[in-house]
Each structure stands twice: as C-alpha cells, then as structure tokens.
Amino acid sequence: MARASLLFALLAVAATAVAGARAPGTATGPPLAAYGNASSVVRRRAVENGLGRTPQMGWNSWNHFFCQINEEIIRETADALINTGLAKLGYKYVNIDDCWAEPNRDYQGNMVPNKQSFPSGIKALADYVHAKGLKLGVYSDAGTQTCSLRMPGSLDHEEQDVKTFSSWGVDYLKYDNCNNGGRNVVERYTKMSNAIRKYGKNIFFSLCEWGDNNPATWAGGMGNSWRTTGDIADNWNSMTSRADQNDKWASYAGPGGWNDPDMLEVGNGGMTEAEYRSHFSIWALAKVWAGPLTGNRKAVVLWNRQGYQATITAYWSSVGLRASAAVTVRDLWAHSSSSAQGQISASVAPHDCKMYILTPK
C-alpha cells in the first residue's frame, strides 16, 4: 500500500516558490507560462541553522492517507524511496502528518505516539529511517489541538515538544495553524522558532500558516519554509490557483528559506495525466527559481492553462539569455535534445506543459 502511495502521491514536501514574474504571452493561445531565474530579488533575512540550503524534497502522508497512517506505511515508504532510486535524486524526507499521537498528553505533559498505529514509537521509526540515509518529519500545530482534533497541538508547550522531538531524532516539523484561539500569529510561530533554535537545531522548521498573513514577508527569520496558500485539493483549479498565489512571493525565496504552495497531488486521481505533468513541472521548477542553474543554464516551462491546443513561445530575453544565444534544448518529459536560437516554441495540449533545460553552446 505504501509503495503505491509513494508512486501515486509523491510529494515535493513544501515544494517551494513557484516563482518570479512570468514571461509575457506570445503567438497564439494563452499567456506564456515560461519560468527562468528571477530577475529582481527582494531577499529577506534567512534563518541561520544551516538547513534548507536547497528546497526540501520527499514524501508526506496527508494528501493520500489523511489520518489512516501507521508505522508500517512509514517504513514501507522509506523502503520505496530507496528502492525506486528517488532518494538518490534528493527525496530525503519521510514526513508523518496529522494523527500520529494519542489524543492526550501523558502525566508529565509530553506528547505520546498513538499506541495502535505507532506501537514502536517515533524514535524507533526515526532510527529505521536514518539507517537508510533518510530523514523523518512529524507534524504539530500552533494551537491547542491539531486540525484533525485528534491530537494535541504545541501552543504553550513549544519547548517541551521540541525537546521530545529532538530526543526521538526528528529532522523536520510541519507546524499548522488550527485551533489557535485567535492569538497573534507571529507570536505563536516565533515561540516555536525560538524553541527549535534552543533545543532542536537540526530540525527543519516548516511553517504552515496558509499564507493568510503574508508569511513570506516575516517568516524568513523563523523557519526554512512557509506556506503561501491554503490547502491544495486534487483538481486543476485548485492546483493552478495555488501556483498563482505563490507566484508573487518568488523573490522572497532562496537558500535557507522557501515558499510553499502546498504538496503535490500527483497520482491521487483527481486530474488527468497532462494536468499532473503540469503540476509536477511547475512545482519542480520552483526548486531552481531562486537562481540560475550552473553553467548559465535556464529552466523553462511552457504551460497551456487553456482548454484548447496552443502554440507558446519563450523568447530568450524573457528567460535571461542573450537574444543571439544558441542553446541545446533538453526536453525533460520527452527525454530528447535539440538546438534552438533566440526562442523556443511548442504546440502544447490543453492543461499540459513542456519543460526544458536550455544550455548555451
């Protein structure tokens, strides 16, 4: 079951900035969705914990399993990351989302793993994941309970919970925003950030504030990623709207801190193959948006968001190349190479995309 979930619901966890100003539309069809490196940079103070120098990648349980998780699924998912070769490509995090803990804390006020679904405990699971060269993440909430209402949140227990997570060997914390009593959002997330600085220096801190208070403008000094959108759903409109919402914050992302348009839905069944290809391409491109690729290479996606076939053109001036530059064009989905100069055009099916790496000759 978990192997299928990995292949069908692989998530670029907190998938980073879908970014930058789009190149202008050209030729026939929809506005051009061609992305390269951002031309203007509005950087923010980055948290200095040595983590998140590149965007985090891996797997998260929520979009496929929701609360129906257990330690066997997590172990099998870790196995699958290794056996499929995805770990070698950078998919390192195995993250447990909501519902992993007992409804109540123990007599000392500590969170307790759910005795039925995680009988071996989180530390044993972290040891298993670490032995494979992977990292383990857990979930909590900046409120009194998590969003599922099935386990306690960490509000006013920040230091105690971080000490617990660190003792288990946890590498990643996704920190949600439910049941917060209306308390100030910056104060709540600052408390957890300070606790992690003090007791969990190796924990990647992923703020899941839903973008309500423009966290890109203030979360850079607190954590390694911040949600810029509400929760994604497994449909075209939800996916594209989150790409658009995330787009404007591109210049705030970079090494140490990344925009998060929520996790991939690829393979969960609500979109077509073409739509999932677009979804994966736009989220994957977010990984490189903070700067140019090595060797002055550029990543470009031609994304047809309309309901009809369209020809889309990306001019070199729109993606940061000299207008006269000759390049080798690598089509990442077709696994083919060609040459181009000045521009690249393609006929793109409805809701589909083309994704290229342009390498100057």
CA distance 277 to 311: 18
Rounded Cα–Cα distance for residues 221 and 266 (Å): 31
Q: Is 234 a catalytic residue?
A: no
d(CA 236, CA 175): 26
- Strands of the sheet containing 353-360, edge to edge, are 298-303, 353-360, 326-331, 336-341
Is residue 231 annotated as a catalytic residue, yes or no?
yes
Q: How far apart are the C-alpha atoms of 239 and 328, rounded to whole Å?
A: 31
**Which whole-number Å values give the CA distances from 22 to 150, 216, 265, 325, in the listed order?**
42, 19, 23, 20
Beta strands of 252-342 (E only): which ranges? 258-260, 298-303, 310-315, 326-331, 336-341
273: which residues sit within 8 A by CB, 6+ positions away?
A: none
Catalytic residue, chosen from 79, 161, 176, 247, is: 176
Amino acid at 106: D
- Between CA 254 and CA 19 the distance in angstroms is 11
Residue 34 in contact with residue 319, Cβ under 8 Å?
Answer: yes
The catalytic position among 127, 231, 244, 331 is: 231
DSSP 257: B
CB 300 within 8 A of CB 35: yes
In three-state secondary structure terms, 345 is strand
**Catalytic site positions:** 176, 231
